[in-house]
Every structure is written in structure tokens, then in C-alpha cells.
Amino acid sequence: MRVLIDTCVIMDAVQNREPFAQDAQSILLAAANQQIMGYVTAKEMTDIYYLAHRCTHDQGAARTIMGRLCTLLDILDTTDGDIRRALASALSDYEDAVMAETALGLYRHPESVRLRRFPRARLFSS
């Protein structure tokens, strides 16, 4: 199953935010254990870096988090077409519409998706 993971879910896992931390960590573990194919958008990655850096106040720690995410998840590019289709979307939240259109790109352009498998990965806690 292909799953586009929202920024909030990732931050719940990274920051161990209750009451969602356990569910969020389970989603990332499913990606690590190859039970799902997990994705984030390129824009999400910049947002996650900003939030991780703001939380840790440490560029090295934020980059470590980003590196682990890059190991666990594939990154989807948002195209010009995705942005334009989101404008016409029935979804009222534009950012959600952009994410939805980016996710639909998996089906519009399956040849652009890298298929890869990594061994079991360690998550964010020690």
C-alpha cells in the first residue's frame, strides 16, 4: 500500500506528541518494516526540517531526523500540474489539495516513482 504521510503525523512521531505519538510511530514503523510504501512531498521535507530545528535548536539533530526520514520514506515532487489542479480541486484547504494532487501523481506517472527497499530502520528515539 502506498501512503502519503502528513507533516503532522511525522512531527507527532518525532516529538512524541500525545495522544498521537504511538499511532504516528506505528505508521513510520510500518514503512521501516516494508509493510507500506511511505511518501512525503518535497515541500513537507522543508517544513519538517523547520519544525525539527525549531524543536531541537540544533541543526545537526534536525539533519539527523531528515536523514532518517530519507531512509524510511520516498520523496514526491510537486509539479506545476499538481499546483494548477489543486486550484480547481473540490478540497477547501489549498495545501491539502496540493498534497492530494501530488499523491495522485503516483498513479498519473508511476514511472517517476523510485521503488526501493531498505532493511529495517531505526526510528527517532534511542
- Spans of all domains in the chain: 1-76, 77-113
Residue 117: pLDDT above 60?
Answer: no
pLDDT digits (tens, 9 = 90+) for 14-67: 999 999 999 999 999 999 999 999 999 999 999 999 999 999 999 999 999 999
Return the percentage of the chain with pLDDT > 90, whole number: 78
What pLDDT was estimated at residue 116?
Answer: 43
What gap in Å lies between CA 6 and CA 18, rounded to an integer?
16
CA angle 5, 8, 10 (to 5 degrees): 55
What gap in Å lies between CA 57 and CA 43, rounded to an integer?
21
What pLDDT was estimated at residue 118?
Answer: 41
Return the percentage of the chain with pLDDT > 70, whole number: 86
CATH number of 1-76: 3.40.50.1010
